[in-house]
Structure 1
């Protein structure tokens, strides 16, 4: 699939950087850089999908003007009609899917298209679906704008050929997250409870309200509107949350949340973050 010369060299170089980034906050960015070294993508995104919750954006590279439509509206409820979301939990089969292959006939007449997809300036979309368990999955979304045109047959075939490598690296990345990936210890049983308990031992009630919206993927402006506070007040709460949790980014927050889920197996009904931090101190 990959030609000789520079394209092959670019692919191998990108793969090397991706392997080096395993278990780090840079992994999803490097994953999409690797894919884009061969296939142009305008709106790349990585999502953590939950059966019982709104999805969480783990990484995206979007123009600021597109974030409201592509992230905020999606998290607010549009995801429930997304063919890729439905495919992940109805078919339960990992792989590479193209929107035109799984969308219902007359897709452009659907409520999902009219209320959401038509706002995206998108003309084609391909998604890698990597199963975590029966109630969670990772999705790497590759979307093309109308100006760029649809994926070519070669690009579609390349992505299908690359799928085993991409899926293997996604699974390895999760496996390497300390101490053990929640995906392998029953996330489907714990995530509902964890959303209610995570951070309660360290954060104020308002900070936990802010934390919950951050974990659900809401950007600062939208989260502030939902809580009835100013954007500046929300940013202050977020700064305090990061300070108390000893983190500096949303990626670190998601990693901390995922890593702490397994603690509910050891101490049910207790803040999993507190248990996780105590375990880390005991091991140090």
Structure 2
């Protein structure tokens, strides 16, 4: 394959877009470098739709990545992962505030994503998206993506490591830390467990799913949820999401 012989990211970009777009009939192609220490860096973004491109540029690196199931998966136990979005999305993803405020606005109806760990604190992510009117990815396409994506990501690792000079990354607390520090250290500050549950709720997990993630009962999750809402003086997931957005305005 000609892609294997190309030895710089710039040389790879156009052939990679042509190959992936033709093979998977995807309307968007993005390659992102995630970091535990701060917001992600976009290495490549093929997003022909102007409105979608602007939304991605304005919102994903500010807040979207912290709620993206693929970003969360990138720092899980597996060095390499490849999934269709619905395989890893929280059980109430489509009714979550993240979905309403960001994902639904992208116009994407399906997504294939693969991640490859770069040491302990970074990962490469390849995403292929389908927009409304183009149908979801078929089973044979998902299967082929799982076969070809490790080849693509390993090639990208080869041409970006050592990484080219990246824009300076400013420290960005993760989602749990955000919720734990929203009200500082006073009486209304969330405990670590409450912050973990707040993060799962805003991602779109039900009480049952959050309980399974944390190894506690759904009733315990509900008790924590009531305490969270009381401390933060809110009554809905919408307000929980809004607090997250407000906390980031000064970043």
TM-score for both structures, normalised by structure 1: 0.55
Which of the residues 138, 153, 165 maps onto 2:151?
165
The answer to whether the 8 Å contact 2:52/2:107 transfers is no
Q: Distance in 2 between matches of 1:131 and 1:112?
A: 25
Q: Distance in 2 between matches of 1:24 and 1:134?
A: 23
**Farther-moved stretch of structure 1 (139-148 vs 106-115):** 106-115
Residue 27 of structure 1: aligned partner: 12
Instruction: Note the residue ranges of structure 1 that are not aligned, 5 or more in a row.
Output: 1-14, 176-180, 184-190, 197-225, 227-284
Instruction: Note the residue ranges of structure 2 that are not aligned, 5 or more in a row.
Output: 171-248
The answer to whether the 8 Å contact 2:93/2:99 transfers is yes
Q: Shift in Å at residue 97 of structure 1? A: 1.6
1:244-280 CA distances to partner (integer Å, 9 max, x unpaired)?
A: xxxxxxxxxxxxxxxxxxxxxxxxxxxxxxxxxxxxx
Q: Is residue 87 from structure 1 mapped to residue 99 from structure 2 by the alignment?
A: no
1:94-139 CA distances to partner (integer Å, 9 max, x unpaired)?
A: 1212110100102111122122101011110011211112111111
Q: Distance in 2 between matches of 1:91 and 1:71?
A: 29
Secondary structure at the residue paired with 1:58? strand
Q: Is residue 47 from structure 1 mapped to residue 29 from structure 2 by the alignment?
A: no
TM-score for both structures, normalised by structure 2: 0.61
Residue 138 of structure 1: aligned partner: 124
The correspondence of residues 247-258 of structure 1 with structure 2, limited to 5 A, is none
Which of the residues 152, 157, 160 maps onto 1:174?
160
* RMSD value, Cα: 2.5
Which of the residues 141, 148, 153 maps onto 2:134?
148
Residue 112 of structure 1: aligned partner: 98
Q: Shift in Å at residue 182 of structure 1? A: 4.8
**Farther-moved stretch of structure 1 (127-136 vs 22-31):** 22-31
Paired residues, what number? Answer: 170
The answer to whether the 8 Å contact 1:45/1:142 transfers is yes
Residue 265 of structure 1: aligned partner: none
Secondary structure at the residue paired with 1:149? coil
Residue 203 of structure 1: aligned partner: none
The answer to whether the 8 Å contact 1:21/1:30 transfers is no
Q: Shift in Å at residue 26 of structure 1? A: 2.6
Q: Distance in 2 between matches of 1:170 and 1:70?
A: 22
The answer to whether the 8 Å contact 1:126/1:142 transfers is yes
Q: Shift in Å at residue 162 of structure 1? A: 1.3
Q: Assess, with a 3 A threshold, how the Cα gap between structure 1 residues 111 and 95 changes in structure 2: closer, same or farther.
A: same
The correspondence of residues 264-275 of structure 1 with structure 2, limited to 5 A, is none
The answer to whether the 8 Å contact 1:130/1:167 transfers is yes
